[in-house]
Amino acid sequence: MKSLGRHVLVEFYGCDRDRLNSVELIERSMKEAALNSGATIVESVFHLFNPHGVSGVVVIAESHLAIHTWPEYQYAAVDLFTCGDSVDPWIAFEYLKEALKAETMFTMEMRRGQLHHVEELNYKPVAAAGGMR
């Protein structure tokens, strides 16, 4: 069955508290995870909460990577949503597992945009005369 994208939901447990509370390290790791997976970064925004925790998203041309951390519980929730055939969200997962020093993780992959009526998917349509389709 054809689908527009893959959405990997990740629960990381037993992560390094200091890493989970470093907005600089989280942003750098999320961007590296995106690039390593073959994604094209469009923009990113990250925020450090008081007294602790980081939330952020890397918008990629192929969808997004998002993270929310709870250093006090050594836990991070991560969404890796990629569209097309050129990006592998599992490469991003492996990178982040190491970057956060996660001891335990649970994952679930969903296919998004399952299109029963479409024979061929065109992820990046070419410009038609008079503009984009």
Average pLDDT over every residue of 39-63: 97
Average pLDDT over every residue of 48-64: 96
Q: Which of 3, 22, 44, 68 is catalytic?
A: 68
Annotated catalytic residue 37: no
Average pLDDT over every residue of 121-127: 54
pLDDT value for 128? 44
Whether the pLDDT of residue 29 is over 90: the answer is yes
- Listed range (4-18, 41-55, 62-76, 106-120) with the worst mean pLDDT: 106-120
The CATH architecture of the domain made up of 3-110 is 4-Layer Sandwich (3.60)
pTM of the model: 0.85
Average pLDDT over every residue of 27-41: 98
Domain spans, the chain: 3-110
Q: Which of 63, 64, 86, 117 is catalytic?
A: 63
CA 56 to chain centre: 10
Can you give the three-state secondary structure of 23-87, one letter per residue?
Answer: HHHHHHHHHHHHHHCCCCEEEEEEEECCCCCEEEEEEECCEEEEEEEEHHHCEEEEEEEEECCCC
Share of the chain above pLDDT 90, in %: 77
Annotated catalytic residue 83: yes
pLDDT band at 120 (very low <50, low <70, confident <90, very high): low
